[in-house]
Chains A and B, each alone.
Chain A
Amino acid sequence: MADSQTPRVDELEKGPWPSFVKEIKRAAEKHPAAGDLLRQLDLSYAEKVGHWKHGGIVGVRGYGGGVIGRYSDKPEEFPHVKEFHTMRVNQPSGWFYTTKALRELCDIWDKYGSGLTNFHGSTGDIILLGTTTENLQPCFDDLSDAGFDLGGSGGGLRTPSACVGPARCEFSCIDTLDVCHSLTLEFQDFLHRPQWPYKFKIKVAGCPNDCVASIARADFAIVGTWKGSIQIDQAAIAEYAQGGLDIQEEVVDKCPTRALAWDSERKELKLKVEDCVRCMHCINKMPKALRPGAQRGATLLVGGKATILKSAFLGWVIVPFMELKPPYTELKDLLRKIFDWWDENGKNRERIGELIYRVGMRTFLKAVGLPPAPQMVFRPRANPYVFWWPEEVKRNA
């Protein structure tokens, strides 16, 4: 075997899991940039340090985001990755594709880029990994002709994403794909032209299983839920019992609120509806027998984010229940109020969750016109440092 130029990363061609190194080598057969990428990566493996210059501001005409500029700090050694920018392309809701659409994307990217992609970025976008500044505009022109717009980056609305929803899941309480698509279209300007203190992410999950991790990975999480009883098919439950499922141990004993009781003699499952917190466990265990209730909508949560700056937050409830029917006017109005208030009050690079943490939920709720509800907290405050609005007290003369 001839001496490889990339002995370290070549190790990662071995083993059973599909190899990204093989993928880069495949792209390198057509694109010198992919070859230089692999050689630069091999150098990083030798030196245990990255070789990309800091930052990079590039884009396409009319937009302020969607492209992540990147420059090699070893341009003489690796000239084909001297410029190696990423284009974020807005994925269709739920990441469904026709092969025709995917092939068109591949052809465009082979024409203008490195032939390397991520399917997908964590926020949901199709990631086209590596092109030159010169190629950005013509690439976007062709993408646009093919019906693909750019996704978000920078201090604006990022690309919303959604779980598979009603397309292929019996648990979905809302039309996640439609909500996601409708919000993406409604707020195109905020997505393409960053104009806010920082980024803002929206994710749409059809039920509390939260298959897009909206509670952890979105500033605004829309999570399907229901009111009233779970729909129970007792005959199907008896079948699960006969099939060997230990309903007492695996379902009833795991109910977080002890809302379930199993009558093993009569083969009957009883639910105390008022105690059910819709965690999904029993439905997950017995999908043929249990279904979400018929009155459906979503719980809205705000504030989810990663560490920087004040620690990671999980989203918290701001609307316990909202019905979601097209054209989703109530939802869009609420989002507009939240955007306005945050835009007005947020500090530079302050996520909405951190702004609410800084000024308090009462200020947020008042500003966006939401009524406080016990569903918003695990438990009430334990300290007595309580603020009152001036109009709530009698002023001394």
Chain B
Amino acid sequence: MPRTDFGPPHYMEMLPPVIKRNYGRWKYHEILRPGVLKHVAESGEEIYSIRVGSPRLVSTDFIREVCDLADKYCDGYVRFTSRHNIEFLVTNKENIEPLIQEVRAKGWPVGGTGNCLSNMVHTQGWIHCHTPATDASGIVKAVMDELYEYFVEEKLPAKLRISLACCLNMCGAVHCSDIAILGVHRTPPRVDHELLAKVSEIPTVVASCPTGAIRPNPKLKSVEVNEERCMYCGNCFTMSPAMQIMDPENDGVSIWVGGKVSNARTAPMFSRLAIPYLPNNPPRWPEVVQAVKKLVEVWATHARKGERMGEWIERIGWETFFKLADIPFTDKHIDDFIFSVPTFRTTTQFRW
């Protein structure tokens, strides 16, 4: 029997000596250039962090390559960020340039700091999950290839956070990102009446529906779906394999904008619906990539210095946003769930 309940390794064992010495006593930081941070401690000691983009889904050999570089330039220490980038922690200034050269030679990008696009927080998709309406890694790769320049250069009005979730369980950060890509279904589940009672708890399936579209059918020992009330969230499928909802012809992707989590200037905001549906078009998802690129460009063109996507839209008004972004406004954009009324415009203040 192995030991249990011992938890993760203690973080102190994982910290570079310079960090242990200056723990909690950092004075200030600077971004020297995209991907390179300098932190100065009260003691005068410095640490340089070289931020490197990663596909998140990586092999053990990739991790070993990261270790090789960290051994060579960082005394054997490295960290990862909350957006899945790698940070090489360098104390010797002389090591910065050669490290960056080696990183670039491997085809890894240095960037993601300041007014950059950082890495995309994303999910499992068709690689490992059973409920996705789209893939994760594939779209992320296609989008990051297209927007690569914004990761390695600081040329946006403010920081840009793009995230993706392959279904509306929204694992990750799509509900709170500047731009979010979300896998969606558009057809109700098909109930397998033969299978359902064998593999499901019927009350759990009934209770899983946000709109009350599911009711038990005792005669069949199954459930029935009121299709007019179903908005295809797929939560009943999460509860029961007999509620298959995947539909290759109608599944796809929606695009959301204007979310943020930081409290700087404005309170945290939810992302809101911009484009209700784009098709799944693997391997490159051109419609999705172009839509995201256009949103980045329209924001970069019109926003003031320091204005996050959501702050920009709230200033100019959503009616202006839809006009500038050239996105048709549809009945899908108007909230009709339980918190809808506060999203309606209860004022005569608006722009033509």
Interface residues of A in 113-158 (CB under 8 A from B): 115-120, 122, 129-130, 140-141, 144-145, 147-149
Contacts of B27 in A (CB 8 A): 170, 288
Q: Is A374 an interface residue (CB 8 A)?
A: no
Chain A's nearest CB lies how many Å from the CB of B65?
10
- A192 in the interface (beta carbon within 8 A): yes
Given A106-B64, A210-B263, A306-B170, also A95-B7 (CB < 8 A):
no
Which of A213-221, A318-326, A359-367, A383-391 forms contacts with chain B?
Answer: A213-221
Query: B186 at the A/B interface (Cβ < 8 Å)?
Result: no
Assess whether A16 is in contact with B8, with CB atoms less than 8 Å apart. no
Contacts of B60 in A (CB 8 A): 27, 106, 109-110, 115-117
Q: Considering only CB atoms, which chain B residue lies closest to A182 in the complex?
A: B7
Task: Decide if B13 touches A119 in the complex (CB within 8 Å).
Answer: no
Chain A: minimal CB distance from B100 (Å): 15
Q: Does A62 touch B at the CB level, under 8 Å?
A: yes
A195 CB-CB contact with B under 8 Å: no
Known: A9-B138, A117-B59, A122-B171. A349 touches B77 (CB 8 A): no
Q: Are A181 and B7 in contact (CB under 8 A)?
A: yes
A191 to B64, CA, bound (A): 29
Contact in complex: B270, A314 (CB < 8 Å): yes
Within 8 A of B (CB), among A46-88: 47-55, 61-63, 68, 70, 84, 86
Would you give the shortest CB distance from A147 to chain B, in whole angstroms?
A: 5
Could you tell me which residues of chain B, from 232 to 286, have a CB within 8 Å of some CB in chain A?
233, 235, 237, 241, 246, 248-249, 251, 259, 261-266, 268, 270, 280, 282-284
What B residues does A99 contact at CB under 8 A?
67, 70-71, 76-78
| Interface flag for B334 (CB, 8 Å) | no
- Is B317 an interface residue, CB under 8 A from the partner? no
A101 CB contacts on chain B under 8 angstroms: 9, 13-14
Cβ-defined contact, B55 with A17, below 8 A = yes
Closest Cβ of chain B to A297, distance in Å, is 15
Q: Which of B125-133, B220-228, B319-327 is the interface stretch?
A: B125-133
Contact count band on B: 35 or more
Interface residues of A in 247-265 (CB under 8 A from B): 250, 254-256
Residues of B within 8 A of A145 (CB): 2
Q: Verify if A229 is at the interface (C-beta below 8 Å from B).
A: no
List B contacts of A178 (CB < 8 A).
Answer: 11
A307 vs B246: C-alpha distance in the bound complex, in angstroms? Answer: 19
Residues on A with C-beta less than 8 A from B108 are: 18
Nearest A residue to B69 via CB reads A99
CA distance A145 to B2 in the complex (A): 8
Is A272 part of the contact surface with B, judged by Cβ < 8 Å?
no
- Residues on B with beta carbons closer than 8 Å to the beta carbon of A16: 107, 109, 145, 148
Docked Cα-Cα span, A349 to B233, in Å, equals 16
Q: Do B130 and A50 touch across chains, with their CB atoms under 8 A apart?
A: yes
Kindly state whether residue A279 has any CB partner on chain B within 8 Å.
yes
Q: List 23 A-B contacts (CB under 8 A).
A: A17-B148, A19-B141, A44-B126, A48-B249, A48-B251, A48-B282, A52-B130, A54-B130, A95-B79, A102-B67, A119-B58, A120-B84, A129-B127, A167-B19, A167-B23, A170-B29, A210-B263, A256-B266, A279-B264, A288-B28, A306-B175, A311-B337, A349-B208
Mark B residues whose CB is within 8 Å of A.
1-11, 13-15, 19, 23-30, 39, 47, 49, 53-64, 66-67, 70-71, 76-82, 84, 86, 89, 107-109, 121, 123, 125-132, 135, 137-138, 141-142, 144-145, 148, 151, 168-176, 204, 207-208, 210, 233, 235, 237, 241, 246, 248-249, 251, 259, 261-266, 268, 270, 280, 282-284, 305-306, 337-339
